Amino acid sequence: GQQLNQSPQSMFIQEGEDVSMNCTSSSIFNTWLWYKQEPGEGPVLLIALYKAGELTSNGRLTAQFGITRKDSFLNISASIPSDVGIYFCAGLIWNQGGKLIFGQGTELSVKP
């Protein structure tokens, strides 16, 4: 079945640094979604991407839908302690009945 390879698995950064994470696949996706999950909570949608090449921002977060439709990246600029959490990418293929394929997550730790 389809798989998403998300990297890195974890990151330990200093407050103020920029962060970059990405997801790649051998499959073509129609939609890319980026979620953040904090301990004890459900994933919260950060950014949704619908077109190849699309670049979308949400505050300090920027995500792009890869031109080949097989990858996506998420950047966080000027990280702050509340950015701590696990970030997941998810891809959707229209002929798969609406099912999302999730990456394994990137655990972000921010040192004040």
41 contact partners, CB below 8 Å, separation of at least 6: none
Q: Residues binding other proteins: what is the number (CB under 8 A)? A: 25
Q: Could you give the CA distance from residue 63 to residue 90 in angstroms, rounded to a whole number?
A: 12
Per CB under 8 A, the list member of 12, 14, 82, 97 interacting with other proteins is 97
| 56 lines the binding site for other proteins (CB under 8 A) | no
Residues 34, 36, 37, 42: is their CA dihedral positive or negative?
Answer: negative
- C-beta of residue 104 within 8 angstroms of C-beta of residue 86: no
| 80 lines the binding site for other proteins (CB under 8 A) | no
Least separation in angstroms between residue 76's CB and other proteins is: 20
Q: Which residues bind other proteins (CB under 8 A)?
A: 1, 30-31, 33, 35, 40-45, 48, 50, 88, 90, 92, 94, 97-100, 102-105
